[in-house]
Amino acid sequence: MRFASLGSGSAGNGLIVEEGATRLLLDCGFGLRDVAARLDRLDLSAENLSGILVTHEHDDHAGGVFKFANKYRIPVWLTHGTLTMAERYLPSASSFEMHLIDSHETFAIQDIHIQPFPVPHDAREPVQFTFSNGDRKLGVLTDTGTSTAHIENMLSACDALVLECNHDIDMLMNGPYARPLKQRVNSRLGHLDNTSAATLLSRLDNSRLQHIIAAHLSAKNNLPELARQALSQVLCCDEDWIGIADQVSGFDWRQIL
């Protein structure tokens, strides 16, 4: 199993998970031409994708999903709440399959087993996912205001993790955002800061961890080195070992052995 990112942050997200000939796109916050260019960087095209999963309705995750799915007839998986809130993006005549998922129920798309789990975030029915080939497990967590026991249970003993490090609290509080936005980002239903991400990480079984990527970094309220510092302290590893999913280029393929 391997994975890569098309880009990560409040201007658009997309993650690819591949097992054999099964390739899933997790979220699509990019326009048609942009997503094609980003796939091309990974030597992929829309025709290679088996399905698209959507975590929640915010533009940076759902904004490009339906147009892309419709153009290339790629099936989409999402919760009822996400569909309700994202309906405004639906094309009038759609030519793709839509699958509603239960936020606690595992399902499979070809060779990949998927476990959704609910997260506290200011969306209707937001979920995040783990992906498994039956042997190795990738956990993904972004867009959560706080951790929960259930989240930690889901992410424990992963072989690879993509973990939100949205902001540094001091940078957010002293930064350019207006006060209501600062409060939203910092709330229980907002985004995970570096220290909270590190605390979450410290509660997991990391004995199998081969890759960890800090994701969804705020362009104005965080720095890659701060995210790296926070996570590397928990794992007692070199800061360079912590990967960064950036907005422009995401990150290149990571193989889970």
* Interface residue list for Zn ion (CB under 5 A): 58, 60, 143
Signed CA dihedral, 59, 60, 64, 65: sign only: negative
CB of 204 to Zn ion, least distance (A): 22
Q: Tally the C-alpha atoms within 13 A of residue 6's C-alpha that lie toward its C-beta.
A: 31
CB of 216 to Zn ion, least distance (A): 6
Q: Quick one: 127 or 230, whose CB is closer to Zn ion?
A: 127
In the structure encoding, which two tokens stand for residue 198, read together? 């590190």
Cβ burial, residue 120 (10 Å; 0-12/13-18/19+): middle
Q: Quick one: 23 or 58, whose CB is closer to Zn ion?
A: 58
CB of 255 to Zn ion, least distance (A): 26
Q: Quick one: 19 or 164, whose CB is closer to Zn ion?
A: 164
Phi, psi dihedral angles at 89 (to 5 degrees): -85, -10
Residue type, 66: F
Q: Quick one: 19 or 143, whose CB is closer to Zn ion?
A: 143
Partners of 142 in beta bridges:
none
Report how far residue 198's alpha carbon sits from residue 126's, in angstroms, rounded to the nearest whole number. Answer: 22
Q: Quick one: 132 or 218, whose CB is closer to Zn ion?
A: 218
CB of 234 to Zn ion, least distance (A): 23
Which residue in the shown chain puts its C-beta closest to Zn ion? 58
Closest to 140 in 3D by CA, of 244, 22, 15: 15
CB of 26 to Zn ion, least distance (A): 12
Query: From the centroid of its chain, how far is CA 16?
Result: 10
In the structure encoding, which two tokens stand for residue 100, read together? 């509603």
CB of 210 to Zn ion, least distance (A): 25
CB of 9 to Zn ion, least distance (A): 8
Q: Quick one: 60 or 168, whose CB is closer to Zn ion?
A: 60
**Alpha helix positions (H), the chain:** 32-41, 59-62, 65-72, 80-86, 149-155, 169-174, 179-186, 194-202, 224-235
Q: Quick one: 143 or 193, whose CB is closer to Zn ion?
A: 143
